[in-house]
Amino acid sequence: MSVSIAEGMYGADQVGLISGFLFLPGQAGQPIASEEAVRFLQQPTPDDGFVWLHFNLAHAACERWLRAKMPLPDDFFELLHAGSSSTRIEPSGGMLLAVINDVALGFGVVTSDVATLWVAAGSRLLVTARVRPLRSVDRLRAAVKSGEVFLSARSLLFHLMQDQADVMAGIVRESARKVDHIEDRFLAEHLQDHRAELSGMRRTLVRMQRLLAPEPGALFRLLNRPPVWLAEHDVQALRESTEEFSLVLNDLASLVERIKLLQEELAAKLNEQTNRTLFTLTMVTVLALPINIVAGFFGMNVGGVPLANHPHGFWVLVLLVASFTFLAGWWAFSRQKPR
C-alpha cells in the first residue's frame, strides 16, 4: 500500500492528531496523516498492518472527528467522560479499552503530576487520547521512531504499559535515593527536620500507587478468561506487563512503609532532643531561683535589712545562695529518672 509521509506530525493537526504511524508487516512504523489513516482502515484487507493514532483531547474537533471517522465502541467515549480513575483494561466490542494513569511529561522539569490516557486497541487500530502529555507515550513514540518493529496494535498497548512501569520504577528509584540520603544523615546524627520533605514524598507515592495501580478484578478476569479474538501471544505479553508492574508496585509499597518508619524514628529523635533542651532550660531556671529570691528580698528599700552592717555580710549571703542552689540542683537531678 502506498502511503505518503506526513510532515510535522508532532504538533496536533486540524482534528487534534498529535502523531500517527502506519505499521506494515515486519516493518517499522511510518508517519501517517489522519485522512490517510481513515482510507487505510476502510480497505477490506485485514492483514496489511495497523495504525496508531495519538490524539489531543484538548482540541475542540478531536472527539467529534473520532466519533465520525473511527470504528470505536461507545464504551470508549463513555470512558472519556467518566473522568480520571484508577488504571484498568477491559474488552469491549472486539477491542481492548484501557484507562492508563501515568506521570505527566514535564518539559525539562521533574514532575510527579498524574495525567490520564485513554486507549482503544483493535486488530488494525490503536487509538490513544490524552489532555496532558505523558512520559510513557513519549517513550513509546521514541521507540517507534527508532525503528522498533511491533507485531500488532495490542502489542503497542502492552509496550505502553511496560513503559509506564519503567517510568514508575524510575520515580521509585529516585525517591529511594532521596530517602537513602536522609537515612544516612539520620544515622550519622546529622539531625535536620526532613519531616515535611518525607511527608510530601509519601503523599505523592501513595497517590501514584492509588491511581497507577491497575484494577485487579477486571485485569484478572481478562487474563483468566481472555476473549477468543485475543491472541495467545497478546495474553502472554499482557501477563508479563502485569507481573512487571506488580513488582514495581511492591517496591513502591515497601518504600512508602520505609518512609513511614523513618518519619517515626525522626520524630522520636527530634522529640528526645526537644525534651533535653527543655530540661536544660528548666535546670537553669531552677538553679537561678535561689539567687533571684535572695536578691529580691535584700533589694527591697526598707529598714531592718539583715546583715546590712555586718562586715562579712556579702560572703554570708554568697554561702547562703550557694547552699540553696546546691540543694535545688540536687533535688532537680534526683527527680530526673534514668533512661
Query: What number of H helices and E strands is found in the chain?
Result: 9, 7
> Is the model's pLDDT at 47 over the cut of 50?
yes
Q: Which residue has the higher pLDDT, 84 or 138?
A: 138
- With H, G, I as helix, E, B as strand and everything else as coil, classify residue 89: strand
Taking only Cα atoms into account, the Rg of the chain, rounded to an integer number of angstroms, comes to 35
Please state whether beta strands 50-56 and 125-130 pair in parallel, antiparallel, or not at all (unpaired). Answer: parallel
Tell me the C-alpha to C-alpha distance, in Å, between residue 283 and each of 319, 325, 326, 330, 332. 20, 11, 12, 11, 7
Average of per-residue pLDDT values in the chain = 79
What's the confidence (pLDDT) of residue 12? 62
Domain annotation covers residue 315: no
Closest listed residue to residue 201, CA positions, set 126, 334, 121, 112: 112
Q: How far apart are CA 108 and CA 249, in angstroms?
A: 26
Q: Which helix (H) or strand (E) holds 120?
A: strand 114-121
What is the pTM assigned to this prediction? 0.68
Domain count, the chain: 1
What is the structure's pLDDT at 2? 38
β-pair partners for 52 = 21, 126
Does the pLDDT of residue 37 top 70, yes or no? yes
> Of 64-68, 133-137, 229-233, 249-253, which range is least confident?
229-233
Q: What is the pLDDT of residues 226-258, one digit of tens each?
A: 787 777 887 888 888 778 777 888 888 888 898
Does residue 302 lie within any of the structural domains? no
Give the C-alpha separation, 137 to 294, whole Å. Answer: 79
CATH number at residue 103: 3.30.460.20
| Phi, psi (degrees; rounded to nearest 5) at 327 | -65, -40
pLDDT at position 9 is 39
Q: Is residue 279 part of a domain?
A: no
Residue 150 is assigned to a structural domain of this protein: yes
Would you state the pLDDT for residue 207? 76
What are the pLDDT digits (tens) for 176-195? 888 888 888 877 776 666 77
6 within 8 A of 14, measured Cβ to Cβ: no
Which residues pair with residue 53 across a beta bridge? 20, 127
Distance (Å, rounded) from C-alpha 249 to C-alpha 289? 59
> pLDDT band for position 53 (50/70/90)?
very high
In which element (H, E) is residue 67 found? helix 62-69
- Report d(CA 73, CA 98) in Å as an integer: 12
The C-alpha atoms of residue 308 and residue 311 are separated, in whole angstroms, by 9
Residues in the chain: 339
> Of 140, 96, 141, 133, which is closest to residue 117 (Cα–Cα)?
133
Distance, CA of 328 to CA of 289 (rounded, Å): 8
Residue 121, in any domain of the structure: yes
- Measure the CA–CA gap between 73 and 127, rounded to whole angstroms: 12
Task: For residue 89, list its beta bridge partners.
Answer: 98
Q: Is 56 among the domain residues?
A: yes
Residue 261, pLDDT > 80, answer yes
Q: Is 51 left (phi over 0), alpha (psi -120 to 50) or beta?
A: beta
| Residue 325 belongs to a domain | no
For residue 33, what are the domain limits? 17-267
Q: Is the pLDDT of residue 268 over 70?
A: yes
Instruction: Please give the Cα distance from 323 to 39 (Å, whole number).
Output: 103
Note whether residue 6 is domain-resident.
no
